[in-house]
Structure 1
Amino acid sequence: MLRYILKRFLSLAISLIVASMVIFAVIEIAPGDPAAYMLGINAQPDTIAALRAELGLDQSKLQRYLSWVGGMVVGDFGTSYAYRSPVAEMIGDRLWVSLPLAIYALTLSTIIAFPAGIYAASRRGHFGDTAVMGATQLGVAIPNFWFAMICVLIFAIKLRWFSAGGFPGWDRGFWDGIKALTLPAIALALPQAAILARVMRSSLLDMLGEDFIRTARAKGLSRRQTLWRHALRNAMIPVLTIIGLQFSFLLAGAIIIEQVFFLPGLGRLVFQSISARDLIVVESVVMLLVFAVILVNFLVDLTYAIVDPRLRGRT
């Protein structure tokens, strides 16, 4: 098990190094000079040069890359060009919105998808299976931003159960914060629940056709007992993969939902920073999101080894 963990950790470290190089290179080749953008079209060349020196933009690309990576290792993401405040503080403030939103949406997605997928698999070919698969097809087809606007119209404007947008802050109380994130979480969760339910059903049906399932049935176990004791655990590998990918998507890809609900999360921060040519913020946020994706995949790999011990001996 230790060898398995070390191999996965080495893969994580290499992936982070390569990702940091790619992110820095892509951001650096983007057209435009942040200093010239901040000072406007009438700025004098010497003024632009002075601002570039102040921001560290006059250094070589290698020096800037090493400084950026070295700072991130110790938690220093640099200083925002536009806001002149530490990037780590800006990310920290926004992360306390995006991270709970992603966890909330993933929890709702899992709570909905697991029973739906298991029920559909257990009722294969019956009306229940057809109804669940039809609902999931609809969930996959509906864009989450359209569904988010429908939620606002019904639950915020018509019924007035929730606010139409904004975030009061966690200092106003836990339940106020959860209430503000409920509609965005539902808008994010339902399409993901539809995908997860279909994967759960497909994986369970594959397991129910295996020889060891027929052996368990031959020993006298009922279909329900066979499903819960044997098929479900073996069907979890592809399901865990989808859950890991969904969490990464919910954390990194909620920018449209954050715009719809005016949530001050990481998605809006990236959008605003790109508009302001605040490259250091864009680099740092994207690197943080990449780290989250790679870390989640690392944890999913470890979960594989727990669910299926046979994987521990594989490379």
Structure 2
Amino acid sequence: MLRYFLRRLLSLAVSLIASSLVIFAVIEVVPGDPASYMLGLNASPETVAALRDTLGLEGSPPERYLAWAGGMLTGDFGISYTYKVPVADLVADRLAVSLPLTLYALALSTIIALPVGLIAAARRGTATDLGIMGATQLGIAVPNFWFAMLLVLLLAVRWQVFPAGGFPGWEAGLWPGLVALTLPAVALALPQASILARVLRSALLETLGQDYIRTARAKGLSRRQAILGHAFRNALIPVLTILGMQFSFLLAGAIIIENVFYIPGLGRLIFQAITQRDLIVVESVVMLLVFAVILVTFLVDLGYAAIDPRLRRRA
């Protein structure tokens, strides 16, 4: 198990280094000069050069990459061109909204998908199974921003159960914050729950066709006991993969939902930084999101080893 852990840890480090090189290179080839953009067309070359030096844009690309990567390792992400505050402070403020929203949506997705997938697999071929599969197909096909607008029209405008948008801040209390995040979380969770339910159903049906399940049934176990006691754990490996991907997607891909609900999260920060050409914010936040994706993949791999002893023995 230790050898497996070290191998995955080495893979994580190599992936982070490669990702940082790619992100820095992509930002380098973006046309335009942030200093010229900030000062306007009428700025003198001397003023632009002074601002470039202040922003740390002078120097060769290797020097700037090493300075940026070294700062990331020490928690110094640089200073935002637009907001004139440390990028780390901006990220921390926005992450305090995006991370709870992601966990909220992931929890809702899992709570919905697990029983739905179990019921569909247990009642394969019945009207219940067909209805669930039809509903999940609809959930996958319909974009989440459409769900978001529908939820706003029904639950915020018409019935006024939840606020239509905005975030009061955690200083207003836990309950007001959760209420404000409920509609965005539901809009994010419904498509992901549909995907997860279909994956769980397929994995369970494949597992139920294995010889050891037939042996367990022959010994007198009911179908429910065979599913919950034997098939469910073995079907969790593809489910863990989807959960890891969903966490990464929800954390990094909620830009549209955050803009629909005016949620001050990481997605909205990236959108604003791109429009304002605040490149240090863009590359720092993207690198942070890449780190989150790679870290989640690493944890999922460890989850594989915990669930499937064959991986530990193979390692």
TM-score normalised per structure 1: 0.99
Runs of 4+ in 1 over 4 A off after TM superposition: none
User: 2:238 matched to which residue of 1?
Assistant: 238
User: 1:222 matched to which residue of 2?
Assistant: 222
What is the CA–CA distance in structure 2 between the aligned matches of 1:102 and 1:313, rounded to whole Å?
Answer: 34
C-alpha contact (below 8 Å) 1:273/1:279 kept by paired residues? yes
**Could you say what secondary structure the match of 2:179 adopts?**
helix
What is the CA–CA distance in structure 2 between the aligned matches of 1:69 and 1:118, rounded to whole Å?
Answer: 46
**Is residue 171 of structure 2 the alignment partner of residue 167 of structure 1?**
no
How far has the Cα of 1:306 moved from its partner? 0.7
User: 1:25 matched to which residue of 2?
Assistant: 25
TM alignment of 1:67-86, pairs within 5 A:
67-86=67-86
How far has the Cα of 1:281 moved from its partner? 0.3
**Could you say what secondary structure the match of 1:30 adopts?**
coil
C-alpha contact (below 8 Å) 1:199/1:239 kept by paired residues? yes
What is the CA–CA distance in structure 1 between the aligned matches of 2:246 and 2:266, rounded to whole Å?
Answer: 17
Partner letter of residue 151 of structure 1? L
Q: What runs of 5+ residues in structure 1 fail to find an aligned partner? A: none
TM alignment of 1:35-50, pairs within 5 A:
35-50=35-50
What is the CA–CA distance in structure 1 between the aligned matches of 2:293 and 2:108, rounded to whole Å?
Answer: 20
Q: CA RMSD in A?
A: 0.7
Count of paired positions = 315
Partner letter of residue 87 of structure 2? V
Partner letter of residue 281 of structure 1? V
User: 1:308 matched to which residue of 2?
Assistant: 308
How far has the Cα of 1:191 moved from its partner? 0.3
What is the CA–CA distance in structure 1 between the aligned matches of 2:37 and 2:83, rounded to whole Å?
Answer: 14
How far has the Cα of 1:241 moved from its partner? 0.2
What is the CA–CA distance in structure 2 between the aligned matches of 1:112 and 1:75, rounded to whole Å?
Answer: 37
C-alpha contact (below 8 Å) 1:4/1:313 kept by paired residues? no
Q: Deviations along 1:197-225, whole A, 9 cap, x unmatched?
A: 00000000000000111111111111111
**Could you say what secondary structure the match of 1:118 adopts?**
helix
How far has the Cα of 1:314 moved from its partner? 3.2
TM alignment of 1:114-133, pairs within 5 A:
114-133=114-133
How far has the Cα of 1:68 moved from its partner? 0.6
User: 2:197 matched to which residue of 1?
Assistant: 197
**Is residue 14 of structure 2 the alignment partner of residue 14 of structure 1?**
yes
How far has the Cα of 1:250 moved from its partner? 0.2
**Is residue 141 of structure 2 the alignment partner of residue 141 of structure 1?**
yes
What is the CA–CA distance in structure 1 between the aligned matches of 2:199 and 2:314, rounded to whole Å?
Answer: 24
What is the CA–CA distance in structure 2 between the aligned matches of 1:201 and 1:230, rounded to whole Å?
Answer: 15
Partner letter of residue 214 of structure 2? R
What is the CA–CA distance in structure 1 between the aligned matches of 2:91 and 2:59, rounded to whole Å?
Answer: 25
What is the CA–CA distance in structure 1 between the aligned matches of 2:56 and 2:202, rounded to whole Å?
Answer: 53
User: 1:266 matched to which residue of 2?
Assistant: 266
User: 1:297 matched to which residue of 2?
Assistant: 297
What is the CA–CA distance in structure 2 between the aligned matches of 1:275 and 1:246, rounded to whole Å?
Answer: 27
Partner letter of residue 107 of structure 1? A
User: 1:213 matched to which residue of 2?
Assistant: 213
What is the CA–CA distance in structure 2 between the aligned matches of 1:243 and 1:54, rounded to whole Å?
Answer: 43
**Is residue 275 of structure 2 the alignment partner of residue 275 of structure 1?**
yes
How far has the Cα of 1:82 moved from its partner? 1.3
User: 1:181 matched to which residue of 2?
Assistant: 181
What is the CA–CA distance in structure 1 between the aligned matches of 2:281 and 2:167, rounded to whole Å?
Answer: 22
Q: What runs of 5+ residues in structure 2 fail to find an aligned partner? A: none
- Name the % identity: 70
User: 1:55 matched to which residue of 2?
Assistant: 55
TM-score normalised per structure 2: 0.99
User: 2:155 matched to which residue of 1?
Assistant: 155
Partner letter of residue 13 of structure 1? A
What is the CA–CA distance in structure 2 between the aligned matches of 1:245 and 1:35, rounded to whole Å?
Answer: 37
How far has the Cα of 1:313 moved from its partner? 3.1
